[in-house]
Chain A
Amino acid sequence: MTNIAIMIIQPVIAMLLAPMLLGVINRVKAFFAGRRGQPLLQPYYDLWRLLHKGVVYSTTTSWVFKIAPVICLTAIILTAFIVPLGGGRSLLSFNGDLIFAAYLLGLMRFFIVIGALDTGSSFEGMGASREVQFSALAEPALFIALAAMARQTSSVSLSGIFSAVTPQMWTSNCATPLLTAAAMIIVLLTENARIPVDDPNTHLELTMIHEVMVLDNSGPDFAFILYGSALKLWIFAAILVGMLLPMNQMPLWISIPAAVAAVFAVSVFIGIVESCMARFRLISVPNLLFTSISLAILSLVFALRN
């Protein structure tokens, strides 16, 4: 009974706290810039406002534009059911669930891209084109990193991998988790449209990727998309945390809060990265992703040595 309660509480925490990550990132960036920054709960206010607004549709768009935000959000919520938090099993865990999760993210991407193309705007086409290019390169890095961790922990499910991360693993072979983490951070920044790949705050359509794809969305549709991307950030942070921290040894009433704290630490880290770096030129982004793939391969090599 308590098991099921814990399984349910994990995605609920993710769904409730995900927008806060954006708030934290904003505050960190404000701190580095010497400003006070917006309230921590600003993303929630924004979502609330958007949900109660009407919508504006471009005359070019069709049903694809209306269905895309719904499918994107559905896919990412289902992913939240798969990714565990704090060492426990997730609600939807089975052998090979990591493949399912990665492909749900693919479904999300498919719909956000065709939703962007539906507007017929060249800016959104540009964003869509960059999105598919970069994510196609992030995909192998993600999969090889997962394979390395699977090999290291002898498990083919996210819940299994996370619960097999122990202090002993760190002492016996710290190269694999470290390299995997490095690869995963690059994947995280790419997939979530953060600096140095994409600048979520820019106001120039020509340089944006994710934001430019949703230029024409408004009202509840836009709220769905914003919330979906917040949840996506949460999920990637949770995967990163789960791969690094040995949570299984602790009792759940410590490990779940610890994992939540670690996820927020990731968002602080993203805020620091965004404050200290500029966005890369688009041409050099593939190099960054190739670096990520190489790191993942190295990590697999170290996992094989064991």
Chain B
Amino acid sequence: MSVILTGIGLIILTGLISLFIRDAKSSTRFGAVGVILGSVISIVPAIKVLCSGNAISLKVPWQVPYGSFYVELDSISALFLIPVLLICSIAAVYGCGYMLAYKNRRLGIPTFFFNILAASMAMVVMARNSILFLAAWEVMSLTSYFLVTFDDEHESVRQAGWIYLVATHIGTAFLLAFFIVLGKYSGSLDFDSSSMLKTIAPAASSGLFLLALVGFGTKAGIMPLHVWLPEAHPAAPSHVSAVMSGVMIKMGIYGIIRTLSILPNIELWWGWLLIGLGIVSGLLGILFALAQHDIKRMLAYSSVENIGIILIGLGQGLVGIASGLEILVVFGFAGALLHIINHSIFKSLLFMGAGSILHSTGTRYMDLLGGLIKRMPQTAAAFVIGAIAICGLPPLNGFIGEFLLYYGSFSAALSDGVRLVVPTAGAIAALAVIGGFALAAFTKVFGIVFLGQPRTSQAANAHKANAEMQIAMWIAAGLCVIIGLAAPLILPAIIPVISQIAPVVSETTAAYISQANKMLLTIVAASIVFMILAAVLVMFRYRLLRNKTAAQSPTWDCGYAAPTPRMQYTSSSFSQPIVDMFKSVLYSRSKTVKIKELFPEQAQFESHTPDVSSEYLYRPIFERVDWVISKMRWVQYGVVQMYVLYIAITLIILLVWKLK
């Protein structure tokens, strides 16, 4: 344990020191070296814990009331700690190159916040005391707020930061209630006293689950608690978006999983609820992603979608626990957990790719880009790997997690209980639709941004991403391939985590696990066959073309004499049929100047898809709240004596109440 704390301490320390380094370049580098060294030190024991399943812990008394410095690294923590350290290190490398664009500013400050963010996420997954947990949680939220508002001269960034701050604290408010009630039932604010919880009433248990779901779900970005996500992710510097979307939102999922491991008597309807929320988040997330024109905003919505997929898996696991169907427990949780790891990798890869595009062209708008594959070949190649992976296509890592989810659903659909078939068949259908739309969304991003002809001079004059950014992207892309091929090795490491969430491990479970492993082995073998076959075909094609001339010509233009790049399909036109089909949920707004006469001078079309829940759910609520609070303004005179009087009155009331 002390090794890990040393590593985390190193990350914090280098962050602090980098505050005092004047030179922008060396301060980011120093911070990044700290993150990498600290991660290397800490990741070794984490891998050991994950492989052996033996938890390590440390408990030191603390001056804080009800608090203790109680940290533990068990399988669940290790599974989340490893991506945190890995992605933060990759993002730190990327940040060295990315932040050079701001080298006339004091970069010590964002470096400091970045390192603290990494360390606080590590503490979140290890904390076993409510006070310590909430402290780490709050540090994580605040450091990421300061990182989101890095570009604070833009009005939109300040607005995004504000939305993020409000959302995260509403979430924390629910967590506060959750921990107080939990502490009340278990008699201590340490998490391990959960054995006391065995006597808890089912209703109270459900209440706790709902509190945790809202509190942690806000961080995870479950629809409709996701509103901060599409605002904050585009605003943050890209390596920060990579960390926020790749691992920080997973802290919400960590919280939900930790809660499930603590709470006794899991009910069937929790699973239904999670599957339902997962389907809603997944479907609406990808539909909104499809309707966006801003790459980073689109990626943020796609994170909502992937959180949905993870929730579907968790929900299946819960349904499995509540109904005693172990195959669903194994495959649901294993799929969800694998998808957590996989999403952290490919989503940070895609955000880093989007950052490189922003860096080189100065714009995030897809419709202003195009043809970047010629200018940024490395970024394009890494990005397409990320895109294939996030669509869940074989032979990359994204397929593995989704395969387990599908397989679990199919097996449950074969079981006897019709009550189980409805959610699982729903999950199958939802996963299929989500997969189809994800393919639409990511072929769109890659096709419109990287392929075709440049639409503007910004895109035509783009420059390559610098070395650090390319290295970081290639590491992430390499991980997508490696995990895709090494899945059978990773699955055994996940099993202890599942048995910690659901203590149902029996012989049948072991049989399912070995069955899953066998399937993954077959898939990996098939993937290798795929690669060999592709290589053979490439060679065949090469032989066929060896002595032939490859002619060059313009693209077929249907006989039209003067095509321009502006005539290409744009991101809006590509997704228009789908967006139109779902106009009843998306509420896209468009502005059109229609063609009126025979020789029209101008025609125009513009579409914009704002977030429905922030427009129609939160805006009205917050406007009411604003109105009510403005009526209460008379309480706050700004006279200090008055406030002292308030304090005195409150104390007297408390005293009287206590005396009674």
Contacts and interface: CB of A to CB of B under 8 A. Distances in A.
Interface string B419-448: 001000100110111011101101110111
Given A56-B551, A110-B439, A96 B407 contact: yes
Nearest to B431: A143
Contacts of A63: 373
Contacts of B387: 110
12 contacts: A54-B551, A55-B548, A57-B550, A58-B552, A70-B541, A96-B407, A99-B406, A100-B394, A110-B442, A118-B452, A123-B558, A136-B578
Interface string B555-581: 111100000010111000111111001
Nearest to B536: A74
Nearest to A204: B558
A35 interface: no
A269 interface: no
Contact of B578 (A109, A126, A133): A133
Contacts of B393: 103, 106-107, 110
A75 B556 CA distance: 27
Interface string A41-78: 00000000001111111111111100001110111011
B555 A96 contact: no
A117 B569 contact: yes
B541 A139 contact: no
Given A117-B569, A123-B558, A64 B373 contact: yes
A150 interface: yes
A215 interface: yes
Interface of B: 370-371, 373-374, 380, 384, 387-388, 391-394, 399, 402-403, 406-407, 409-411, 413-414, 418, 421, 425, 428-429, 431-433, 435-437, 439-440, 442-444, 446-448, 451-453, 515, 518-519, 522-523, 526, 529-530, 533-534, 537-538, 541, 544-545, 548-558, 565, 567-569, 573-578, 581
A154 B415 CA distance: 9
Contact of A144 (B425, B515, B554): B425
B433 A139 contact: yes
B392 A144 contact: no
Interface stretch (A23-31, A216-224, A260-268): A216-224
Interface string A230-245: 0000000000000000
A120 B577 contact: no
Contact of A129 (B418, B548, B565, B573): B573
B384 A114 contact: yes
A64 B451 contact: yes
Given A107-B394, A110-B443, 20 more contacts: A56-B550, A58-B555, A59-B553, A74-B534, A96-B410, A99-B406, A103-B394, A109-B439, A118-B447, A120-B370, A121-B556, A132-B443, A136-B439, A137-B433, A140-B429, A143-B431, A150-B414, A156-B410, A219-B545, A221-B541
Task: Specify which of A54, A117, A128, A286 lies most central, judged by the most chain B CB atoms within 10 Å of its CB.
Answer: A117
A96 B519 CA distance: 8
A119 interface: yes
Contacts of A60: 371, 452-453, 554-555
A75 B447 contact: no
Given A96-B410, A136-B436, A144-B425, A128 B526 contact: no
B142 to A, nearest CB: 40
A135 B435 CA distance: 10
B249 to A, nearest CB: 25
A95 B512 CA distance: 12
Contacts of B444: 132
Contacts of A54: 545, 548-551
Contacts of A216: 555-556
Contacts of B522: 92, 94
Q: 5 closest Cβ contacts across the A-B interface?
A: A125-B569, A136-B436, A117-B447, A120-B452, A54-B548
Contacts of B553: 56-59
Nearest to B418: A304
Contacts of B392: 103, 106
B554 A125 contact: no
Given A54-B548, A99-B403, A133 B440 contact: yes
B400 to A, nearest CB: 11
A185 B406 CA distance: 23
Given A57-B552, A70-B538, A95-B407, A51 B544 contact: yes
A123 B523 CA distance: 37
A113 B447 contact: yes
A190 B593 CA distance: 34
A268 B428 CA distance: 32
Contacts of B534: 70-71, 74
A300 interface: yes
A298 to B, nearest CB: 12
B519 A94 contact: yes
A224 B407 CA distance: 32
Contact of A137 (B436, B529, B544): B436
A175 to B, nearest CB: 16
A191 to B, nearest CB: 12
A96 B403 CA distance: 8
A136 B440 contact: yes
Interface in A127-185: 128-130, 132-133, 135-140, 142-144, 147, 150-151, 154, 156
B526 A100 contact: yes
A111 to B, nearest CB: 9
Nearest to B575: A129
B77 to A, nearest CB: 30
B429 A144 contact: yes
Nearest to B438: A136
Nearest to B448: A117
Contact of A128 (B432, B443, B533): B443
Nearest to B531: A74
A125 B573 contact: yes
Contacts of A106: 391-393, 435-436, 439
Contacts of A113: 439, 443, 447
Contact of A150 (B373, B413, B552): B413
B432 A56 contact: no
A139 B436 CA distance: 7
Nearest to A142: B432
A104 interface: yes
A304 B394 CA distance: 31
Contacts of B443: 110, 113-114, 117, 128, 132
Contact of A133 (B518, B549, B551, B581): B581
A32 to B, nearest CB: 30
Task: Specify which of B387, B406, B538, B552 lies most central, judged by the most chain A CB atoms within 10 Å of its CB.
Answer: B406
A156 B414 contact: yes
Contacts of B391: 106, 110
A22 B163 CA distance: 58
Contacts of A51: 544
A52 B544 contact: yes
B432 A140 contact: yes
A73 B541 CA distance: 12
A121 B447 CA distance: 11
Contact of A107 (B374, B388, B544): B388
B319 to A, nearest CB: 16
A223 to B, nearest CB: 9
Given A94-B519, A120-B370, A128-B569, A110 B388 contact: yes
A270 B166 CA distance: 58
Contacts of B384: 64, 114
